[in-house]
Amino acid sequence: MVTKAPPRPAPTHRALRLLAAAGVTAASLVAAPQAQAVDSKADGKADGGTTLTVAVSQSIDSLSPFLAQKLVSTSIHRLAYEYLTNYDAKDAHPIPGLATAWKSSPDKLTWTYTIRKDSLWSDGQPATAEDAAWTFTKMMTDPNAATANGSFTANFKKVTAPDPQTLVIELKKPQATMTALDVPIVPKHVWEKVGDFSKFNNDQQFPIVGNGPFVITDFKVDQYIKLKPNKTFWRGAPKFDELVFKYYKDGDAAVAALQKGEVSFVPNLTPAQAAALKTQKNIKVNDAPGRRFFALATNPGARAKDGKTFGNGHKALLDPEVRKALFLAVDRATLVDKVYQGHAVEGAGYIPPRFGSYFWQPDGTQKRTYDPALAGQVLDAAGYRKNADGKRVGKDGRPLDFRILCHATDPNDKAIGKYLQEWWGKLGIGLKVECLDSVSDPWVKGDYDLAFDGWSVNPDPDYVLSIHTCGTLPTAPKDTGATDNFICDPRFDALYAQQAVEYDAGKRAALVKQMQSRLYDTGYMNVIAYPNALEAYRTDQIGSITTMPEAGGNLYGQDGYWSWWSAVPAAQASGSESDGGGSSTGLVVGIGAAVVVVAGAGIFLMMRRRSTADDRE
């Protein structure tokens, strides 16, 4: 959904998610048994140990991996649960996770994964193929368990575990994402006791049983979530004694906390904040190409799979000529220059430039450049002429007065909203910028005309494209579904189906580019920019940490757990920088006096997915 991660999952993973089936404050119908609760302090400091505190501005939508779609939530699940495969920190190619190896049958319809023997759940029980088989089967048989990641299993025919180390997935047709199934594997012995998956948020008993590098130990809504190292993690335990994600509604307050040493890391900086922090002692700024896009979403007419429409979106936006005119009246170059102050790339398709083979840009004849005069001509020709008051009106006499959903915590939304009011106002179009702490409720109800949207994109683009297929629409108006913006376009769906079964990398990339071209032409999604990852951390707290990709990559919202898993306290990182200032690019990892990388058998000792604008992954 909407997200923009102030940069959703993702989205938001997985974007900023707006469409979580239940809020994190809802009580579970059935409380899954967890390990005994532990004590923790509200100030986020580990007793007598080291604490890495990350400031976040996005609310957690759910701690259930079956519901969560926001970037902050899916990032935490990356830390708490293993996936079958992971992404290499250097270049994002698939590497072993819970599975150590995989192979397909000649017809690509049967995939066999070898499950590692050295993965334990944090309650001491072994993680086996049966856990993975149960996780996938539950998603296949219970729609409420498929809210977040159902697109990955929609094509599954059968999943079995012949023995503890063997997982077999049978497909209905070939599927190109079988080495990039971004689905957290959960412990069967815990989750099989859950009743209604649509209402179970996994937030009632702590610590939460997982097999990732960290264990979730405490959570307070819009305050903090705390994690401890998983001492039995097969890749090795994290170095910090505690990891805390602390909620800050105000970005300036988060920056002030960083300057005071109250937090270790702050993501999603504004250009002004980043510039000020570069001169600060013991603070390092990282400015890297991001994995997110920022877009303007248009309500295409909210509808459900049963054909019923709902919401109060402006009917004029169903006219492609109106959407085209709005497209032509947005000056992306100015927004990149004035709002992002150069810390972004002008947008076009859904896939940011860092994912080179899938990156798409319109050609000269297709590209819609800023041309307000042409926008006015398009509206005139379509019958939307100005009245005596200079207001554009439709054939029904209704003025073109639109509303746009804005995230109150994101200064970029507000700044861009002011530019749109000016540009569209000259066309005779009114725009009300509605800034809310959470845009989820009006979004899922279809009660909006336009909205600021954004997702974090995974190395495999399947998920971020799937959210615009007809199959993700809600079953009925009362439901939520997994759709981002209620788009249902048969041509887009046909291309999605083709790319999903295409194993030839070049041919699949061509299909993905055609899908982005189609979204661009329909005008429902206007991708404005690909923001950089502007973030900062204290070098007197964090002595070394891994960026992804290694060369000029980001730290927050990675396609994996590498940053927080690899982070070394300053006192332990001899040979790392700890005094000061300046911006950093590239890999910042020191272990002892040297950087250590062990790549044998796909194992990395240095060391992932989406968001909504609430922040979609």
Q: What is the pLDDT of residue 47?
A: 59
Our CA angle for 159, 143, 82, nearest 5°, is: 50
Q: 381-386 — which CB contacts under 8 Å span 24+ positions?
A: 381/321, 382/319, 382/321, 382/322, 382/325, 384/316, 384/321, 384/322, 384/325, 386/428
Residue 376 is classified by DSSP as H
Q: Where are the alpha helices (DSSP H) in 146-243?
A: 150-153, 188-191
d(Cα 39, Cα 55) in Å, to the nearest integer? 22
331 DSSP β-pair partners: none
d(Cα 328, Cα 145) in Å, to the nearest integer? 41
Residue 357 is classified by DSSP as G
Q: Which value, in Å, is the radius of gyration of the alpha carbons in the chain? A: 23
Q: What is the pLDDT of residue 466?
A: 94
Q: What is the pLDDT of residue 4?
A: 33
d(Cα 483, Cα 469) in Å, to the nearest integer? 7
- Report the run of H or E that residue 386 belongs to, with start and end: strand 385-386
- Whole-prediction pTM value? 0.80
Burial of 254 (0-12, 13-18, 19+ CB in 10 A): buried
Ranges of residues in the chain with a pLDDT under 70 are 1-48, 574-617
Q: What is the pLDDT of residue 48?
A: 65
d(Cα 28, Cα 273) in Å, to the nearest integer? 40
Region at 492 (left for phi over 0; alpha for psi -120 to 50; beta for the rest): alpha
Supply the DSSP string of 36-89, one letter for each residue. Answer: PP----TT---TTS-EEEEEE-SPP--S-TTT--SHHHHHHHHHHS--SEEE-T
Q: What is the pLDDT of residue 46?
A: 54
CB-based contacts of 360, cutoff 8 Å, min separation 6: 348, 349, 350, 351, 512, 513, 516, 517
Q: What is the pLDDT of residue 531?
A: 96
Other residues' Cβ atoms within 10 Å of the Cβ of residue 141: 10
Q: Which domains does the chain have, with CATH numbers?
A: 292-531 (3.10.105.10)
d(Cα 301, Cα 447) in Å, to the nearest integer? 10
Report the first-to-last Cα separation within the chain, whole angstroms: 8
Nearest-10 crossing angle of helices 490-500, 505-522: 160
CB-based contacts of 549, cutoff 8 Å, min separation 6: 89, 90, 91, 92, 354
9 and 55 Cβ atoms separated by less than 8 Å:
no
Provide the CA 38 distance to its chain's centre, in angstroms. Answer: 30
d(Cα 444, Cα 606) in Å, to the nearest integer? 40
For residue 131, give the nearest of 144, 146, 119 by alpha carbon. 119
Residues 12/18/24/29 CA torsion (nearest 10 deg): -120
Provide the CA 92 distance to its chain's centre, in angstroms. Answer: 16
d(Cα 266, Cα 246) in Å, to the nearest integer? 10
Q: What is the pLDDT of residues 399-412, one digit of tens each?
A: 999 999 999 988 89
Q: What is the pLDDT of residues 354-364, one digit of tens each?
A: 999 999 999 98
